[in-house]
Structure 1
């Protein structure tokens, strides 16, 4: 958001942009001050920078195979002693993870005999206005207490998540909660296309009825992995 404000503040001004984005002007100015005077940053922030550089070095040397535990052990063998939770936090924040042993979770469970909408997108994942095209999917992460799933809906035009839900169950309630949030946050919906894969959660009667009642047009493809790649989401 700070980079976005930097790119557009000459045209719109800082305060008007901050009224639209979820950021206070004081937060923006504080971030810019710390950029110019890094010595004013907190000790934790300075330590994070140091640890992050070391984590990236070890992770890349392992050809992106090491997870937090192995990175942590390698750091300790080199005489660097951060807390393991610090390594886990920084790797999670910066999208670094190791190779998992065993099988991954299967999230897309489909039935060939289940009625579904046509594919209205045909791999053309672009939009010229807000609420023109949404894409929906969910992913998972393995935690110490078990699997956790996150459902999300993305507005392709804004590259923004407009609805999301975290749950320990991969069911229709989870994706319904994300859909309800997106519909509530985006008022006056008209002809927005909702594109998903053939997962049974998205083809359930409750889910499809909610879309129909809210003026959302269903579109179903084969897989959302290509969708997210073409959306160029960070």
Structure 2
């Protein structure tokens, strides 16, 4: 740089590095143009022209002064396009990160990008996944799927339970087979295999306590835990929907083992229906005199025929308080289980089909197989057998 301060008329020449240093000093250090010009004895209009030229060149324009060559213009255009592409890629990366895709989805994208002539290295770099993980996932996908033994046993237990068991009873059923699976593991496998019982609820009024017949006092008083069989039975009536109309079920349950000991079904629900269920229970169990038989206050149980049957066999009658379903909650629970686990999963065409299926549920599933949490996850038959074989002191 040639300078002649004493001769103001002499023309001062500045090289490109000096101009760049002055511009960077103004922009980086935040100094004012006037202060820099005063300290360096520069003309303010000249310095401002340097600033305009620098900003124009940064924007890819020719700037002020000598025009840029065609090669410089091509390089600057490429740099501009490169900056735009980097910005677009940054936006896509941020959007891809906000979607939070699973790694498996990213590996699938790598597969698709290879078909577009993109290398695995580049695709993994763009999607921010490791190449080793991609190759390991591809190797696993080509291998034969491994059969989960726990899922097989779980599906079998679910089917054996009438597709009605939840995770707790499935754990107990598997434990009886020698498989120890935690409840959380069972729930996970149930979700993975779509094992979910579907229940629907319908309601129909079956008890008519608005009558003038004599009623028995509540002798049972919710003493649902009986130490021995044939000490207390509970009775009730429910309904089953068929395409041919309603079918009514009267049942008798032993409170000791929760076993259904008598039942009867008919398209109507007269007093003879409940009498038939009680007669079946008496014929099967041959109870001693003094057995307590508890029911609601319905006209069927308050009828003369039912009361005469109780007196004939020396049985003691007991009835729930008016409008109190909790006094007979054990039988209400059985009816709910029957409907959830069997009736609401069927579409009976006629009464005969319903009678056969309900009887099958009682004999072959509920009494013989179904695990009862109150009985220590034993079936009623197994619980009675266990009680009969235990020594008494």
Contact 2:221 2:327 in 1 (8 A): no
Alpha-carbon distance in 2 for matches of 1:213, 1:131: 17
The Cα offsets for residues 96-135 of structure 1, whole Å up to 9 and x where unpaired, read as 43244xxx32110113522111110112222111111000
CA contact (8 A) 2:224 2:330 kept: no
The 3 A distance-change label for structure 1 pair 218 and 226 is: closer
**Contact 2:320/2:327 (8 A) holds in 1:** no
Higher strand share: 1
Q: Indicate the structure with greater helix content.
A: 2
State how far apart, in whole Å, the 2-side matches of 1:146 and 1:231 are.
22
**TM-score normalised by structure 2 residue count:** 0.34
* Structure number with bigger Rg: 2
Q: Does 1:98 align with 2:221?
A: no
Alignment partner of 2:313 out of 204, 214, 229: 214
Stretches of 4+ aligned residues off by more than 2 angstroms: 96-100, 222-234
- The aligned residue for residue 227 of structure 1 is 328
- Aligned partner of 1:70 in structure 2 is none
SS in 2 for 1:201: helix
**TM-score scaled by length of structure 1:** 0.56
In 2, distance between residues paired with 1:164 and 1:127? 21
- For the Cα contact (< 8 Å) 1:126–1:231, is it kept in 2? no
CA shift at 1:191, angstroms?
A: 0.9
The C-alpha deviation readout for 1:64-122, integer Å capped at 9, x for no partner, is: xxxxxxxxxxxxxxxxxxxxxxxxxxx9xx6x43244xxx3211011352211111011
Report if aligned partners of 2:239, 2:249 keep a CA contact under 8 Å in 1: yes
The 1-side partners of 2:251 and 2:259 are apart by 10
Query: What is the 5 A alignment of 1:143-182?
Result: 143-182=242-281
Equivalent-residue separation in structure 2 for 1:232 and 1:150 (angstroms): 14
Q: CA deviation at 1:144?
A: 1.1
What residue number does 1:120 align with? 219
Give the whole-Å Cα distance in 1 for the aligned partners of 2:279 and 2:331: 25
Higher relative contact order (CA 8 A, sep 6+): 1
Cα-to-partner distance string for 1:143-193 (whole Å, 9 max, x where unaligned): 111111111000000110110011111111111110110111112422110
Is the partner of 1:148 in helix, strand or coil? strand
After superposition, the Cα gap between the structure-2 partners of 1:177 and 1:147, relative to the gap in structure 1 and judged at 3 Å, is: same
- Structure 1 residues 168, 194: CA separation in 2 closer, same or farther (over 3 Å shift)? same
Deviation at 1:227, TM superposition (A): 2.4
Q: Structure 1 regions of 5+ residues with no counterpart?
A: 1-34, 57-90
Are 1:199 and 2:301 an aligned pair? Answer: no
Q: Which residue of 2 aligns with 1:185?
A: 284
